[in-house]
Structure 1
Amino acid sequence: MTSGGIKAEARAAAYARRKAAFAGRGPGDTDLLREVLAGHAGKVLAGYMPMRTEIDPLPAMAAHGGVVGVPVIPGEAQPLVFHRWRPGAPMVAGAFGALIPEVAEEVVPEVLIVPLLAFDRAGFRLGYGGGFYDRTLEGLRARGPVTAIGFAFAAQEADRVPTEPTDQKLDLIVTERGVIRL
């Protein structure tokens, strides 16, 4: 089977696990993320606007003691850029339906909360297949230190995520059940 076929199968299984976990989510899903982010107070944080069955980082983002941005897709096969977000800020639909701030004020993150479909204990994540976060992390890391935090339900853990040479590792993973330091 090709790499694309292996990843497609892994994505289908991961979607199903995440959907089941999302249905059983609880109010404390972001408690550990808030604790982790407290150690990064004052740093520029990039989170994401949750879509479909993604675990919701917004309460932790709103509580962050520093500038917060959300991703904007400037075009196919390009790294993400990040626009400043504040709770209650006017939002509009961006690429793929993700909400982005109506007013574009670019920020450069030092810490990223990264959405995912699946993760493994080696620090790899399975995303949606566009490579946006891999390109973004590669570019940011070339400029200086960046902390990439995978945020997911514990049920999204896989024994091994299929990888390619361009895949970027996470620095830690936060679930509703614990923090995995890599």
Structure 2
Amino acid sequence: MVAPHSPISDLPPSDPPALVAAKAELRRHLRGVRMAAPEAGAALCRRMREHVRAVLTPGRCVAAVWPLPGEVDLRGLCASLHGDGYGVLLPRTPPRGQPLSFHRWSPEATMCSGRFGTVHPDGEVARPDLVFVPLLGFDRRGFRLGYGGGYYDRTLAELPGVPAVGFGLSAQEVPAVPVGPYDVPLPVIVTERDVIRV
């Protein structure tokens, strides 16, 4: 679960007004696309699990997300990865301007209410070995359109060397995400149909 879309006024000042407006319009469109295809979620989770098993050995930690309404539901993936012997971490959403912290999850974990309607486990903080990054939209260059709060941008900047893997439905692909000078592409994006390596 991640923080929902933030108002345009909360976006980083580095984006010029035309870029802010273009991203906001694309977010409005893609939110509807994401909610229109819930049946693809199970296939996406299977592909995400296959990707983890191909790149990490059991015992390593994978950061996922707990779903907000309308998001792909990764709870089954979290349970499967835990059963496979991986550490599963879920984010706690801090005040704006700070990076996410990742907390250990297990099926027995107590879940705590967080900011923006999110929940996170009452587990110890741990550093992930792979971070699944949610998105509203993406393109084949690896650029993602997030929710607008900048949480994952700040978080990934503090986790150098940790693989970041975007995930979303194939219907969320667009020809080109509007990007600014500070947008960084993801090296891998997983959909229910394929694994896109940039």
Q: Could you state the TM-score of these two structures normalised by the residue count of structure 2? A: 0.83
Matched residue, 1:131 = 150
Question: Which of 109, 119, 123 is 2:138 aligned to?
Answer: 119
Question: Which of 32, 38, 50 is 2:53 aligned to?
Answer: 38
Question: Which of 44, 55, 65 is 1:29 aligned to?
Answer: 44
Supply the distance in 1 between the matched residues of 2:50 and 2:37 (Cα, whole angstroms): 22
Q: CA deviation at 1:26?
A: 5.7
Q: Could you state the TM-score of these two structures normalised by the residue count of structure 1? A: 0.90
Matched residue, 2:95 = 75
Root-mean-square deviation (CA, aligned residues, Å) is 1.5
**Contact 2:41–2:73 (Cα < 8 Å) also in 1:** no
Identical pairs, percent:
44
- Equivalent AA in structure 2 for residue 79 of structure 1: P
Matched residue, 2:9 = none
Q: CA deviation at 1:93?
A: 1.5
Matched residue, 1:59 = 76
Q: Deviations 1:146-179 (Å, cap 9, x if unpaired)? A: 1111111110001111122332321211111111
Gaps of 5+ in 2: 1-16
**Contact 1:72–1:82 (Cα < 8 Å) also in 2:** yes
**Which of structures 1 and 2 has the larger relative contact order (alpha carbons within 8 angstroms, sep 6+)?**
2
Supply the distance in 1 between the matched residues of 2:105 and 2:181 (Cα, whole angstroms): 32
Partner of 1:15: helix, strand, or coil? Answer: helix
Gaps of 5+ in 1: none
Matched residue, 1:93 = 113
Q: CA deviation at 1:17?
A: 1.1
Number of paired residues?
177
Partner of 1:121: helix, strand, or coil? Answer: coil
**Contact 1:55–1:151 (Cα < 8 Å) also in 2:** no
Q: CA deviation at 1:114?
A: 1.0
Supply the distance in 1 between the matched residues of 2:22 and 2:119 (Cα, whole angstroms): 30
